[in-house]
Amino acid sequence: MLIKRILTAIIGVIVTGYIINYGQWLFACSVGILALLAWREFCVMFKQTNISLWSGFGSIGIALLLGCAWLGNSQEINMLVMVLTLLVLVKTVVFSPTFNIMNAAITLFGILYIGLSFSHVLLLRFTDPSVYITSVFGSLSFGTAFLWIAFIGTWANDTFAFFVGSRFGKNKLCPQVSPGKTIEGAIGGIVGSILVVVLLGILFKFSLVHSAMIGLLVGIVAPIGDLSESAVKRFTGVKDSGKLLPGHGGVLDRFDSIMFAVPTVYYYLHAFIL
């Protein structure tokens, strides 16, 4: 199992690095495929509880959200969220043979949870594409650099939280959702995110204050993303969201923290830097 995890991680990092740095259409298509796979996992998980989600409607909604993000239309995303909400309500009240608010609510939640999260991966990657940051890694576009900051900051959070929690963890963070997580591990994860993002800030020749703030925010929201997906899995009674990645579970298992970290970095940039 450990060898599978290591091999999958190495291959994943190489492929991810190439797609993020050099992909345009390839990157957008990859994000779209991941989002639709995540939606499929979401639907399958809830099928275990006899809750039947509107998978076709959800796929279309997620594709539309990603399309708006690819075109850079963040305002249209807000409008689309309202339209999707209205359509779900209309379908529930008018076109469904039986009124089932649970199906409607979870379908809408899944569309927004997955669609908006992955849309922000596109929005962040293509932020200021004409501006380049020079670093020891060469020149990267502004959005690419900060997408790496979001990804690596999240991975650092997970790694530091695991090792600090394993060594010093005594007080449970959220035992009803994820019994293995501890307060000590969470603090270690936050410190790890700050340190790694500050280091990246130095390499990218970026403000250390902003780097520290981004690291702090990523360190806070990344475990919330993890706990959110854990809550869904606990509710549906599954161990992993899927089996796509050997030794790592499904798409949601691998991207749950990133799905919260990327939008946070995106809005921090727009609020305080751009």
Q: What is the pLDDT of residue 21?
A: 86
Number of domains comprising the chain: 1
How many other C-beta atoms lie within 10 A of the C-beta of residue 50?
A: 6
Q: What is the pTM of this model?
A: 0.92
The better pLDDT of the pair 8, 107 is held by: 107
Question: Which of 127, 110, 135, 147 is CA-nearest to residue 16?
Answer: 147
Give the structural domain span for 60: 2-272
Confidence of residue 4 (pLDDT cuts 50, 70, 90): low
Nearest to 126 by CA among 204, 20, 218, 200: 20
Cα dihedral 32, 233, 246, 222 sign: positive
Least confident piece of the model among 95-99, 117-121, 205-209: 95-99
| pLDDT at res. 187 | 98
pLDDT in tens, 140-181: 999 999 999 999 999 999 999 999 999 999 999 999 999 999
Residues 6+ away with beta carbon under 8 Å from 242 = 37, 40, 41, 44, 249, 250, 251, 252, 253
Listed in sequence order, the residues at least 6 apart from 8 whose beta carbon sits closer than 8 Å to its beta carbon are 245, 246, 247, 248
Rg for the chain (alpha carbons), in Å? 19
Is residue 2 scored above 60 in pLDDT? no
